[in-house]
């Protein structure tokens, strides 16, 4: 366990050395937040005050929470493992006395922990100043929201890790990566809340782990769901976590057997 703790800590430190990148990222997240918020707000005004249960203020809060969580949750993924398979450096990872998945997972949690403040806070501040935020006044949603964020970070990690692991079988994973990004952006509720989807698409989204990766923590943090409902949603997240963990472990098991390490 200590190895994973050290790996997480080291990853936090590694990311903290790239402060300019963090500032640039926070700026971009905030600017895109302004664009997304103005689009949604004009849509809501045209629709006459509310869409799918979201008032103007609630829709803005949804946008800003999404923009704030974007980086910490790791919604853009990380292709490090695939890169290391390509270069052959995977041999170093495999000759360490740690579990491959757990060591990358620990490092991703360390990254997420660093990203919370520099990447999460600026969009929320901009949001609070420009449109205002509708946040709950009780501690419950924040506590459960924290658990939900942790689960969502892990789900995003495992999803991208599975795509990375495809590099054990194929030389180039870009196609799979693109497909995954398109599905994830839409079905996680990043573009519009999943409850705005037509019925059939909503049903489809709910049969995938994607809403658990963003929509769930955003809804819980914004206080859109009551305690029991929030708990059930976290339960769904944990179920998906178990499923993805099994998928990834099976992939590592079979993949590393057929892996041919590149280079001398």
Sequence-separated (6 or more) residues with CB below 8 Å from residue 50: 44, 56
Using a 10 angstrom Cβ sphere, with 0-12 exposed, 13-18 middle and 19 or more buried, the burial of residue 29 is: buried
User: How far apart are alpha carbons 160 and 81 in whole angstroms?
Assistant: 10
User: CA separation (Å) from 193 to 60, 133, 213, 215?
Assistant: 11, 16, 13, 7
Closest-CA residue to 167 (of 177, 179, 157): 177
Q: 77-96: string of b/e by CB count within 10 Å (b at 16+)?
A: bbbbbbebbbeebbeebeee
Q: What track of x and - describes contact with other proteins for positions 238 through 257 (by CB under 8 A)?
A: -------------------x
Q: Please tell me whether residue 228 binds other proteins under the rule CB under 8 A.
A: no
DSSP state of 51: E
Spell out, one character per residue from 10 to 29, where the chain touches other proteins: x when CB under 8 A holds, - when not.
Answer: x--xx--x------------
Minimum CB distance to other proteins smaller for 199 or for 253: 253
Taking the complex as a whole, how short is the minimal distance between the CB of residue 215 and other proteins, in angstroms?
33
162 is a site residue for other proteins (CB under 8 A): no
Q: Which is nearer to other proteins, 136 or 255 (CB)?
A: 255
Q: Which of 21, 24, 94, 191 binds other proteins (CB under 8 A)?
A: 94
79 contacts: CB under 8 Å, gap ≥ 6: 160, 164, 173, 177
Q: At closest approach, how far in Å is the CB of 88 from other proteins?
A: 7
| CB within 8 Å of 19: residues ≥ 6 apart | 118
Q: Does 6 bind other proteins (CB under 8 A)?
A: yes
* CB 68 within 8 Å of CB 120: yes
Residue 88 touches other proteins, criterion: CB under 8 A = yes
Does residue 3 bind other proteins (CB under 8 A)? yes
Q: How far is the CB of 257 from other proteins (least distance, A)?
A: 5
Part in contact with other proteins (CB under 8 A); list of ranges 89-97, 144-152, 159-167, 231-239: 89-97
Judge contact between 189 and 211, C-beta under 8 A: yes
Kindly tell me which residue out of 43, 79, 86, 89 binds other proteins, with binding defined by CB under 8 A.
89
- Residue selected from 48, 49, 199, 264 as contacting other proteins according to rule CB under 8 A: 264
Question: Which one of residues 7, 85, 165, 218 is an interface residue with other proteins (CB under 8 A)?
Answer: 7
According to the binding rule CB under 8 A, does residue 80 interact with other proteins?
no
Beta carbon of residue 102, minimum distance to other proteins (angstroms, whole number): 11
Minimal distance, residue 15 CB to other proteins, in Å: 9
Structure tokens at 199: 């019925």
Q: Which residues bind other proteins (CB under 8 A)?
A: 2-3, 5-7, 10, 13-14, 17, 88-89, 91-92, 94-99, 257-261, 263-264
């Amino acid at each position: 366990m200590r190895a994973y703790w050290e790996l997480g800590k080291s990853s936090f430190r590694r990311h903290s050395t790239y402060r300019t990148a963090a500032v640039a990222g926070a700026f971009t997240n905030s600017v895109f937040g302004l664009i997304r918020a103005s689009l949604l707000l004009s849509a809501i005004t045209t629709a006459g005050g509310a869409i799918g249960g979201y008032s103007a203020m609630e829709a803005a809060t949804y946008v800003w929470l999404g923009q704030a969580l974007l980086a910490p949750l790791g919604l853009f993924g990380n292709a490090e493992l695939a890169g290391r398979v390509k270069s052959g450096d995977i041999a170093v990872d495999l000759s360490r006395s740690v579990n491959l998945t757990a060591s990358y997972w620990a490092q991703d949690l360390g990254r997420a922990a660093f990203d919370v403040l520099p990447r999460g806070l600026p969009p929320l501040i901009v949001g609070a100043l420009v449109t205002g935020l509708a946040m709950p006044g009780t501690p419950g949603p924040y506590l459960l929201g924290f658990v939900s964020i942790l689960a969502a970070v892990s789900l995003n990690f495992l999803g991208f890790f599975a795509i990375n692991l495809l590099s054990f079988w194929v030389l180039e994973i870009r196609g799979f990566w693109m497909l995954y990004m398109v599905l994830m952006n839409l079905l996680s509720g990043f573009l519009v809340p999943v409850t705005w989807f037509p019925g059939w698409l909503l049903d489809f989204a709910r049969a995938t782990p994607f809403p658990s990766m963003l929509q769930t923590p955003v809804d819980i943090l914004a206080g859109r769901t009551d305690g029991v409902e929030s708990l059930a949603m976290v339960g769904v997240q944990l179920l998906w976590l178990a499923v993805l963990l099994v998928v990834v472990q099976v992939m590592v098991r079979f993949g590393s057997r057929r892996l041919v390490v590149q280079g001398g």
